[in-house]
Amino acid sequence: MLYDLAKAVHILAVIVWIAGMCVAAMTLRHPSPKMLPAIQAFDRRVTTPAMLLAWIFGLYIAINGGWFGENWLSVKILLVLILSGLHGMITGRLRKKTWEGGTQADGATRMVLPLGFGLVVAIVVLVTTKAF
Residue 98 phi, psi dihedral angles, 5° rounding: -65, -45
- 54-80, pLDDT tens digit by residue? 999 999 999 999 999 999 999 999 999
Span 98-116, mean pLDDT?
87
2-58 tens-digit pLDDT: 999 999 999 999 999 999 999 999 999 989 889 999 999 999 999 999 999 999 999
Percent of the chain having pLDDT more than 70?
A: 100
The pTM of this model reads: 0.93
- Count the neighbouring beta carbons within 10 Å of the beta carbon of residue 110: 13
**What pLDDT sits at residue 23?**
96
| Average pLDDT of the chain, as a whole number | 95
Confidence of residue 124 (pLDDT cuts 50, 70, 90): very high
pLDDT band at 102 (very low <50, low <70, confident <90, very high): confident
CB 56 within 8 A of CB 80: no
Q: What is the mean pLDDT of residues 84-110?
A: 90
Question: Domain segments of the chain: what residues?
Answer: 2-129
Distances (CA, A) of 29 to 18, 65, 69: 17, 40, 39
